[in-house]
Structures are given as C-alpha cells and as structure tokens.
C-alpha cells in the first residue's frame, strides 16, 4: 500500500512538472510571437534614440539586424532563441548591449525587496482587517470595514502612488520621491503595492473566516467556553492559511504586475521598470528574459503550493 501511494504521488509530481514545462514553453512562444507581430524595429528605435531622433542609416540598420539575427526567417529566429533559452542564455540587450542575465541579476534584488516588504505589509493589514470585520458588531462600522477591501482593489495603483508622492514627498517631505537608496526610498513604493494586495488578502481571509465560523466545529468549540481570541487564533486562522496558500500564485502575479507600475511611478530600478522599458523599445531578448523569469516564479510557487497542501491539511491528497 505504501509503495502504491509513493508511486501515485511520484506520478502526480511528474505530471505537474510536465505541465510546468509546458507553461514555460507557452509563455516563451507567445511573447516571442507578440514581439515580432508588434510594429516597429528594435534596431531602428535604438539608433534613433542614440542619434537624438535623427533617421537611422539604412546600412547601419541592416548591419545591426544581421548582428542580432533579426534578418533571418522567423522560424529560424524562434529555434535559435528557444535553444538559447533552454541553456539559460538570452543573449544581449539590443538597447544596451549588456547580457540579459546580468541585467536581470542587477535589478532583481530591488524588485525582490519591494515585493517582500509589500507582501509582509499586505499580509499584516489584510488579515487584521478581516479579523476586525469579523468581530465588529452589526451596523455602520461593520459595513464600512467590509467595504474597504472592495475600495482597495478598485483604486488604480498609479493613482495610489501619485497620491502618496504628493502627500508624503512633496507636501510633507518625509520620504524621497524616487530611487533605491535605503529603507526610506522603499517605504512609499511598498505601501503603494501593498494597498491592493492587502485588499485581496482581506477579501480571501474574510470569506474564509465567515465560512469557518459557520461550521459545526466552531460552534462546538465556542460551546466549550473557549475564548474568542483563542477560537480565532487556534481554530479559524489556520483555515485562512490554507486559503492564502491556495491563492499565493495569484497574489505573486499581482505583486509582479503591480511592480511594473510602482517602479515606474517611483523611478526605481527593478524587474517591473525594466520590463516596461524593454517593451517600449521592443528589446526582444530582455522581454523574453523577464517573461520567463516571471513565469518560472509563478510555476515554482504553484509547485510549492502542491507540496504544502498535505502539510497544512493531511486530508488533502488522500
């Protein structure tokens, strides 16, 4: 029986790994095709920027297109790019000439710090808001608290960032308006990114708490005289952990998507701003590297979720 269970789990893991590889391949293929369908030539854009808007010399454009392999048939370009990606080689940036992997390595710490601080802040605020809403007495206070998550998800990230800049950088110069230097430069971007994320966490946690509190076990525990704080901490919040782990891939995707806007608003060096500039200049190798990095993170998180399920709830997977 044990051997059969191990074989079943190994088979399930192999299927998930195959699906993960398929997701990465699909992400690479889709971004490759989109970048080649979009109008504009990356070499012409690079030369026009370097020559202050003057028309690029056609001979120079042709030479650079040949250097980067852009003059080859599209299937050949795809095959070469896919072969390099399989060997973790994305070539050089068309705009800067720097290796793509080195560029990603330089900006990744800034985005990692921003996403980590924003997630920690969002987790704290989101769960606290859900608990406060759950315990609030029926009436205007409970209705107002319940409306906050919907408001948080509806606010545009760029608007939140600009508002925080206006208040805490320009009106009250407490934090720098841009840059990556020190924790003070991280405070406003992290708060900007945390607001919509905390709203989503509060929505998930709020629904989970309401469902768990309505279960017979919660009524039985309360009937034994267990205090409200212990009931929440020991019996209800673990259900929230399972729900948040389930949605961790979506939360990570929201953080990555929000980092594009946040890093642009606050002029921070990071993956998000790099992606925005690369798409704007049609820097194909950089965009491919960023997309595969984001897809790999998404796949890794979902694989970790599958492995954590049995630990959080032994009934799962039986």
| Residue 72, in any domain of the structure | yes
In whole angstroms, what is the distance from residue 179 CA to residue 129 CA?
Answer: 31
pLDDT tens per residue, the chain (318 residues)? 557 766 776 777 788 888 888 988 998 899 888 888 877 777 777 766 655 545 556 777 777 778 877 788 888 989 988 888 888 888 888 888 888 999 999 888 888 889 899 999 999 999 999 989 888 888 888 888 888 888 888 888 888 999 999 999 888 888 888 877 778 889 999 999 999 899 999 998 888 888 888 888 877 777 787 777 787 877 788 888 878 877 777 788 778 778 888 888 888 888 888 888 888 888 888 988 988 888 888 888 878 777 776 666 655 545
Within 10 angstroms of residue 239's Cβ, the number of other Cβ atoms is: 19
Q: What's the pLDDT score for residue 52?
A: 52
In whole angstroms, what is the distance from residue 192 CA to residue 19 CA?
Answer: 34
Contact 202, 149 (CB under 8 A): yes
My answer on whether 79 and 143 are in the same domain is no
My answer on whether 261 and 148 are in the same domain is yes
**Domain range spanning residue 77?**
2-86
| Residue 317, in any domain of the structure | no
My answer on whether 180 and 257 are in the same domain is yes
Q: Is the dihedral of CA 305, 311, 313, 315 positive or negative?
A: positive
Q: What's the pLDDT score for residue 124?
A: 92
How many domains does one find in the chain?
Answer: 2
Give the tokens for residue 218.
């919660």
Using the 3D structure, point to which of 86, 119, 142 is the last residue of a domain.
86
| Residue 95, in any domain of the structure | no
In whole angstroms, what is the distance from residue 1 CA to residue 7 CA?
Answer: 10
My answer on whether 241 and 297 are in the same domain is yes
Q: Which position has the token pair 């399930």?
A: 12
What is the CATH classification number for the domain harbouring 163? Answer: 1.10.3720.10
Using the 3D structure, point to which of 37, 54, 86 is the last residue of a domain.
86
My answer on whether 63 and 185 are in the same domain is no
Which SS3 state, helix, strand or coil, does residue 41 take? Answer: coil
My answer on whether 121 and 243 are in the same domain is yes
Using the 3D structure, point to which of 57, 86, 115 is the last residue of a domain.
86
Contact 262, 272 (CB under 8 A): yes
| Residue 91, in any domain of the structure | no
My answer on whether 59 and 185 are in the same domain is no
My answer on whether 81 and 106 are in the same domain is no
């Amino acid at each position: 029986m044990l051997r059969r269970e191990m074989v079943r789990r190994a088979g399930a893991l192999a299927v998930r790994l195959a699906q993960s590889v398929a997701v990465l391949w699909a992400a690479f293929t889709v971004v490759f095709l989109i970048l080649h369908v979009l109008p504009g030539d990356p070499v012409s854009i690079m030369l026009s920027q370097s020559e202050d808007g003057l028309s690029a010399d056609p001979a120079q454009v042709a030479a650079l297109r040949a250097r980067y392999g852009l003059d080859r048939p599209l299937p050949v370009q795809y095959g070469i790019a896919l072969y390099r990606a399989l060997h973790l080689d994305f070539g050089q940036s068309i705009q800067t000439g720097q290796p793509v992997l080195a560029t990603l390595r330089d900006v990744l710490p800034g985005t990692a710090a921003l996403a980590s601080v924003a997630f920690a802040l969002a987790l704290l605020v989101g769960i606290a808001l859900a608990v406060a809403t759950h315990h609030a007495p029926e009436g205007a206070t409970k209705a107002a608290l319940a409306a906050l998550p919907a408001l948080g998800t509806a606010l545009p990230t760029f608007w939140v960032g600009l508002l925080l800049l206006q208040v805490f950088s320009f009106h009250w110069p407490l934090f720098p308006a841009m840059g990556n230097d020190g924790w003070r430069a991280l405070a406003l971007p992290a708060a900007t990114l945390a607001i919509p994320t905390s709203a989503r966490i509060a929505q998930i946690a709020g629904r989970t708490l309401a469902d768990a509190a309505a279960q017979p076990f919660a009524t039985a525990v309360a009937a034994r005289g267990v205090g409200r704080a212990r009931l929440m901490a020991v019996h209800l919040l673990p259900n929230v952990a399972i729900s948040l782990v389930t949605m961790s891939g979506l939360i990570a995707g929201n953080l990555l998507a929000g980092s594009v806007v946040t890093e642009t608003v606050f002029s921070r060096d990071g993956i998000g701003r790099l992606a925005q500039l690369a798409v704007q200049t049609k820097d194909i190798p950089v965009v491919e590297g960023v997309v595969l990095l984001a897809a790999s993170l998404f796949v890794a998180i979902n694989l970790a979720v599958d492995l954590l399920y049995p630990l959080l709830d032994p009934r799962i997977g039986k």
